[in-house]
Amino acid sequence: MRIAGRILYWLAAVALVAAILSSLDYSPAQGVLVGLIFCPCALALEFGMPKARRPMDKVYLSLAVLVSVILVILILHYSVWVILTQEGYSRPERDVAPMLVNPAFLGLVLTALALGDYFWAKWLATRFKAKGRTVTFFSERKSVTLPVEEIAYMESNDTEVRIVTRSGDAFRNKTGISQWENLLGDSFLRIHRSYLVHISLAVLSTPDTVLVCGKELPVSRKYKESVKGSLPDRKDLAE
């Protein structure tokens, strides 16, 4: 249901963009084609921003996405649609609408789509709990399927993520930890830039560490308050 929900979100997003463009005298097919451009670009912002450490990295990513959108829109208008018109598959080609090359408008649309998908995914994760669910990923070129409940924690070293199970088995994967956090939902808690833990398996060992399946993991200052409010204290459990 969560995957279907994400697909429905992006279908609705494309339909909305197409509806906006229809008011500018674009055909439905042209509106859908332009709407499809926004999907991968918005996803690039959604998943790329958490990985950008420095403010300038975020600026560069935003500029790259905006330039990519504008270039593809221009190619659609002055190349693809020209060919389709000549073949009789489209209404006569037209000049690009000014708003579609306006960085402010494009940035607004992309940001809205990225944030909408992020909060929609969070809601889906709350609505459809991870119990009984499995995840499939590639580790060392092999497909691995694990029950979500068997994952104890994840450790990121920037280039890859190490997935550790309750039994101590470990798998390596190239998907970013922020994407894993979004995928796994509220059953998991971010305690550090490099660590994501299964809430039901974690306890607060000290104000600066969390114990998960016998492994002490650090808690960063950024996540200290959320960790304190979400995990039981080891001392309280002992009493």
Domain spanning 134-238: which CATH class is it, in words? mainly beta
CA distance 136 to 186: 18
Residue 135 CA to its chain's centroid (Å): 16
Residue 55: count other Cβ atoms within 10 Å of its Cβ.
Answer: 8
- Looking at residue 77, what DSSP letter applies? I
Q: How far apart are CA 112 and CA 13, in angstroms?
A: 10
Going by C-beta distance under 8 Å and a sequence separation of 6 or more, which residues neighbour residue 90?
Answer: 27, 29, 30, 81, 84
Q: What is the four-CA torsion angle of 166, 169, 174, 176, rounded to 10 degrees?
A: 20
Phi, psi torsion values for 190, nearest 5 degrees: -80, 125
Quick one: pLDDT at residue 151?
A: 94
Residue 239: what pLDDT?
45
**Tokens 């308050």, residue located:** 225
pLDDT tens for 116-140 read 988 888 777 666 655 567 889 999 8
Residue with the bigger pLDDT between 86 and 122: it is 122
At CB < 8 A and 24+ separation, what contacts does 43-49 make?
43/114, 43/117, 45/110, 45/111, 45/114, 46/114, 46/115, 46/117, 46/118, 47/176, 47/178, 47/179, 49/114
Inform me whether the pLDDT recorded for 238 exceeds 50. Answer: no
Angle formed at CA 88 by CA 82 and CA 93, multiple of 5 degrees: 30
Per-residue pLDDT band at 28 (split at 50, 70, 90): confident
The candidate with the shortest Cα–Cα distance to 181, out of 162, 165, 197, 202, is 197
Question: Residues 81, 30: contact at Cβ < 8 Å?
Answer: yes
pLDDT reading at 91 higher than 80: no
- Report the mean per-residue pLDDT for the chain: 84
Q: Whole-angstrom Cα distance, residue 231 to residue 223?
A: 12
Q: Would you list the domain boundaries of the chain?
A: 2-127, 134-238
Strand runs labelled E in the chain: 134-139, 142-147, 151-156, 161-165, 170-173, 188-192, 195-198, 202-206, 209-212, 215-218
Q: 28: which strand partners?
A: none
Closest CA to 183 of 161, 210, 206: 161
Residue 236 reports pLDDT greater than 60 = no
**Mean pLDDT value of segment 33-56:** 84
Instruction: Return the bridge partners of 153, or none.
Output: 164, 197
